[in-house]
Amino acid sequence: MNRAKYERIFKENYPEIVVENFIYLKESYDYITFEVNRLIIIKFSTTEIEGNIPFEIDLLSKLKGQLQIATPILNYNYKPGSDCKFIGYEKIHGGHFDHRNEKNINENLFILSKFLRDISLLKNPDYQNEEFVTKWKKGCNHQVNGIRLKAFKTIPSPYKKEVEKIIEENHHKIIDDDFTPKLIHSDLKPEHLICNSENVVVGIIDWADARFGDITYEYARILIEFGIDFYKKLLTKNAAKLSIIDVNRIAYYSILISFNSILNEINYRNDNIPGRGLQRLHTSLNTYDEIRKFGIY
């Protein structure tokens, strides 16, 4: 990781900003993220191709005015053939959201509940396109194939039997069921929620994995990333009316998300010993029946 290189790129593109600190935050297989002066989050593409940054900038520009919580864009820069590909987010001083902190918890639950309602009500004829349903189902089928071909080799035998039973009983029943595609962030986690100094969420960043799909996946992501206690509080605050079909989908997606963590460890870390992914799978299996009963109207 060449921090000096990315700091130089930032300074060249933001000459008006005096850089007091340039802090490494995280990286994945296709981008690396830094925090500048504790006020700006800047994400650089680390691949030769554009990746998802142009998609993200286009999406956020379209969401402006429709979703208040979509963090405003500071700047965008892409020069073909160069290493200068990045997106910057303005940041209210505070940090990433701490979902275990009870301070202003009710306000944050309201903010996230409103976000889930607003994003499900976005009006755009493209959102109803059957193509998105087909893509979503194809992606889920591809993921299950990956689970069976790769992830099953790395998990304890008792888990294999239990997961295979869940897949056999639910996959086609859930995937074959039609739904109205909605825009989903699909990667909601505490580090993607920006809060102010009072721990109040003021923005959601990193929309690179956003897609049109099943809105219940968003709830499953919250369940996995924030834990079952926060998930239950959110549903209660949201007064969400979930059908039996909805909660079954949420529970099933939580299994797929857990396995996705395992697959990421295998594919991008060259490590066949699951860590966080296996922990998530253990939690998902332990709460599977409970999730299928909670929040049904």
DSSP string, 7-51: HHHHHHH-TTS--S-EEEEEE-SSEEEEEETTTEEEEEE-SSS-T
Residue 253 pLDDT more than 90? yes
Domain assignments of the chain as residue spans, ordered by start? 3-91, 96-291
Give the type of residue at 157.
S
Which long-range contacts link 149-156 to residues 24+ away (Cβ below 8 Å)? 150/263, 150/266, 150/267, 151/259, 151/262, 151/263, 151/266, 151/274, 151/277, 153/272, 154/262, 154/266, 154/272, 154/273, 154/274, 154/278, 155/262, 155/274, 155/278, 155/281
Residue 46 has a pLDDT of: 74
Say what the pTM is. 0.84
Question: For 3-91, which CATH class?
Answer: alpha beta
SS3 67: coil
Q: Whole-angstrom Cα distance, residue 297 to residue 196?
A: 35
43: closest CA among 55, 58, 26?
26
What are the tokens at 1? 């990781």
250 vs 248: CA distance, rounded Å: 5
Average the pLDDT over 241-262 and give the result: 88
Kindly report the CATH class assigned to 96-291. alpha beta
Comparison of pLDDT for 57 and 254, the residue scoring more = 254
**How confident is the model at residue 15, as a pLDDT?**
86
pLDDT score recorded for residue 51: 58
What does the pLDDT average to over 86-98? 73
Distance CA 205, CA 187 (A): 10
> Which pLDDT value is given to residue 22?
94
Note the pLDDT of residue 173: 82
> Can you state the angle between helices 276-291 and 216-226, rounded to 10 degrees?
120
Lowest mean pLDDT among 56-65, 158-167, 245-254: 56-65
Which tens digits make up the pLDDT trace of 66-83? 787 876 677 666 555 555
Tokens of 17: 């900003």
pLDDT of residue 228: 92
- Mean pLDDT of all residues in the chain? 82
Confidence of residue 252 (pLDDT cuts 50, 70, 90): very high
In this predicted model, which residue has the larger pLDDT, 80 or 236?
236
Reference 193, options 258, 115, 138, 121; nearest CA is 115
The token pair at 4 is 């000096």
User: How does pLDDT run across 122-180, given as a tens digit for each residue?
Assistant: 765 555 567 788 888 888 998 899 888 888 888 888 888 899 999 998 888 888 887 88
The backbone torsions φ and ψ at residue 228, rounded to the nearest 5 degrees and listed phi first, read -70, -35
Q: How far apart are CA 247 and CA 276, in angstroms?
A: 24
Q: State residue 270's pLDDT score.
A: 45
